[in-house]
């Protein structure tokens, strides 16, 4: 059995991705399974660990180290800012994985921050300093790297821009259970408003496609991009990054998304950063788990 393999596990709101990689960040084999969030947190972890065992058996490998990422801030005894899966915030994620793989080094962290490490180590942020990874999907988050090191913040919450306020009238924000920017421009919020507007279920990706021919959809997309681009420009003004890489599910609509962000950066930021699509698209967080296991 090869022991020079890294096992990565990416727990997401709708799916779990597992991958076996070498030390150069090349994914050798992957598996995916539905989170099935309504059934609760523990069953997700149990099924994911069983799938990880099966993946290792199929590949004739044992892990030299393991990286695990999740939405939220992963602490030893709980996970903060991760309300989308019932019971997720009560998980001791590192302990559960360690119980399945005793004596194997395990690293855990936040998915967007880990994805930034992967993009800096192997992808679109290589050589950039400072660098920002902007994750635009179901949730909204940013990750900042300075000298190749993540800016975590005092509580591990640096870059959680989904909680940004939209106006002076947002006087409570997080305290009232809201994530104002995420609700306004994240995939779930956009899909919900599009479904209500058009009278049928619509995903955020479908909304961007519809915006090319439907006036109401176009107005909704335009308003969302105006809001998002303002926050990205303010982030760039505050941090003065060399490069911003944009990843997450919404990047499937890069032909609409990236020009809107680039235009705002060009006009609003004294020293506009380079704006690029992330290299790893939908595997960024999974490769981030691998990068985390390798020490960042």
The pLDDT value recorded for residue 281 is 76
- Sorted by sequence, the CB contacts under 8 Å of residue 121 that are 6+ apart come out as 25, 291, 296
Residue 1 has pLDDT above 80, yes or no: no
Residue closest to 283 by CA, chosen among 29, 3, 4: 29
Residue 35 has pLDDT above 70, yes or no: yes
Among 31-40, 76-85, 260-269, top mean pLDDT goes to 260-269
Listed range (64-68, 83-87, 186-190) with the worst mean pLDDT: 83-87
- The domains found in the chain, sorted by start residue, are 4-113+281-292 (3.30.420.40), 125-275 (3.30.420.40)
The mean pLDDT of the chain is: 92
Phi, psi of 137 (to 5 degrees): -150, -135
The pLDDT value recorded for residue 91 is 87
Question: For residue 147, what is the DSSP state?
Answer: T
Q: Other C-beta atoms within 10 Å of 270: how many?
A: 7
Q: How confident is the model at residue 10 (pLDDT cuts 50, 70, 90)?
A: very high
Stretch 89-98: mean pLDDT: 90
The pLDDT value recorded for residue 98 is 93
Q: C-alpha angle 59/61/64, rounded to 5°? A: 140
Residue 115 parent element (H or E): helix 111-122
Residue 120 has pLDDT above 60, yes or no: yes
Residue 3 has pLDDT above 70, yes or no: no
Q: Is 169 exposed, middle or buried (0-12, 13-18, 19+ CB in 10 A)?
A: exposed
Residue 131 has pLDDT above 90, yes or no: yes
Q: Do residues 233 and 275 make contact, with C-beta atoms less than 8 angstroms apart?
A: no
């Amino acid at each position: 059995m090869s022991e020079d393999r890294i096992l990565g596990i990416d727990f997401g709101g709708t799916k779990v991705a597992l991958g076996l990689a070498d030390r150069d960040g090349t994914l050798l084999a992957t598996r995916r399974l539905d989170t099935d969030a309504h059934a609760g947190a523990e069953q997700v972890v149990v099924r994911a660990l069983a799938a990880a065992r099966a993946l290792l058996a199929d590949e004739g490998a044992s892990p030299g180290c393991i990286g695990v990422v999740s939405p939220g801030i992963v602490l030893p005894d709980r996970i903060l800012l991760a309300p989308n899966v019932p019971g997720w915030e009560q998980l001791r994620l590192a302990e559960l994985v360690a119980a399945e793989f005793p004596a194997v080094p395990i690293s855990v962290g936040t998915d967007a921050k880990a994805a930034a490490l992967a993009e800096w180590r192997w992808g679109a942020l290589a050589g950039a300093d400072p660098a920002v990874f902007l994750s635009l999907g179901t949730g909204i988050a940013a990750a900042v790297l300075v000298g190749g090191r993540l800016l975590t913040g005092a509580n591990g919450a640096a870059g959680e821009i989904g909680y940004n306020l939209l106006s002076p009238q947002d006087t409570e924000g997080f305290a009232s259970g809201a994530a104002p920017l995420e609700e306004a421009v994240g995939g779930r919020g956009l899909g919900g408003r599009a479904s209500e507007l058009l009278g049928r279920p619509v995903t955020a990706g479908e909304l961007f496609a519809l915006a090319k021919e439907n006036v109401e959809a176009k107005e909704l997309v335009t308003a969302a991009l105006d809001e998002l681009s303002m926050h990205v420009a303010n982030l760039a003004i505050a941090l003065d990054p060399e490069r911003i890489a944009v990843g997450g599910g919404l990047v499937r609509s890069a032909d609409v998304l990236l020009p809107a962000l680039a235009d705002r950066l060009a006009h609003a930021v004294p020293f506009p950063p380079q704006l690029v699509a992330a290299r790893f698209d939908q595997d960024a967080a999974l490769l981030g788990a691998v990068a985390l296991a390798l020490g960042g």
